[in-house]
Structure 1
């Protein structure tokens, strides 16, 4: 059973009775489709990715969404980011939300890195003046200066990560969402990203992280929420929730 937590301070993320379902359509031959149609059988079936999920995230909290594959954690993060919509329930966020949900998401392959910095920054709510002011810092953090005027379709996944992460952390977000993004890229850059995330946490930003690296999230996050088949089964101190997940 989920344990209750009492936390003071403003609520940055409010999730109330959220549900989300997906429809699975099976690959079948024309003969199988015809037979199924004649017999009145369903050609697809649905499953509940999230089933009545409710919790609040308060300002300054660093929260790990935990669970095995198919538990609903990445779906929940995408709903918080606004890239998907709930089927039921409500999600409310307060403050600017920046998300690293997928490598290169929001980047246009035919635009250069420079052009994508401006476009992605605008998507994250930055003004052109703010982007110009932070442009050199964004590029320096990404460490891809010599490729900044190259079309991003020629970037490796690691280069995508560097630039996407750099734009996001320089957008001055109140709420920062991260989904397995730190698994991409070389070890020195991963350490650099983790150091920047710790800085954001120390600044009082609200962080929600999805990762299979249990040791990392136990160390980085102060709270863990464990999902199983779309339901919350534990909510408490990150070390304790990781211990419960490991069984």
Structure 2
């Protein structure tokens, strides 16, 4: 078996309840190995797993159990307070609708900015620009400031850009729930194309049908702990049984 593309070893990360915003590097390094304080909590604790290239992982759990934090660790947006995260391939994250987009820039400018930040050259972006706009179905709003788009339109352009990146790992965190049903299905077909092409997928969702559609393996998080790493059907069965949820 080839080396994993993602490895988490004994990972833990804590946050303060009375402080907003991202912690500084000074805070992160000062906190390592320190006893947790009353106003702090572990968002994740002692989480370990590996992911092979081409796997499709569904991340399951109630709100506030560490799912989004886990994806942010994989992207490098946040750093662990303990343990280690190793990612050997590039990541295309669709975690927050507004992530990477600037309100006062136009859609066109944001496409060039966001794709450029993810490593695409200006020439590559120009070659794919029409394809991105056509997929998002917002040709009439190309020169409109991003802040004037509806939440659904923001999802469309974000997914259109991120799904055109060549990064081997795709992270999707619930954001498609904002889009309309027809466009959501269009995005799902695109995800299937990427999976068929060998991409690795992390998919956070509360929709059991979607999880079964894309994912063969599941990670069940509860109170910041990895409760189960198993086939997605087994993970969903345990989650449903613990919370009295009728299977989809």
Q: TM class by shorter-chain length? A: 0.7 to 0.9
SS at 1:240's partner residue?
helix
Unaligned runs of 5+ in 1: 1-7, 27-42
Are 1:149 and 2:143 an aligned pair? yes
Aligned residues: 224
Deviation at 1:20, TM superposition (A): 0.5
SS at 1:25's partner residue?
coil
Cα-Cα RMSD: 1.4
- The answer to whether the 8 A contact 1:61-1:205 is kept is yes
- CA–CA separation in structure 1 for the residues paired with 2:3 and 2:163: 22
- Write the mapping of 1:1-247 to structure 2, written as runs, cut at 5 A: 8-25=1-18, 45-247=39-241
SS at 1:52's partner residue?
strand
Unaligned runs of 5+ in 2: 20-36, 242-248
TM-score, normalisation: structure 1: 0.88
Q: Which runs of 4+ in 1 moved over 4 A?
A: none
- CA–CA separation in structure 2 for the residues paired with 1:140 and 1:96: 25
Q: Which moved more, 1:127-136 or 1:107-116?
A: 127-136
CA deviations over 1:37-94 (Å, ceiling 9, x no partner): xxxxxx9611111001010111000001111122111111111112212111111112
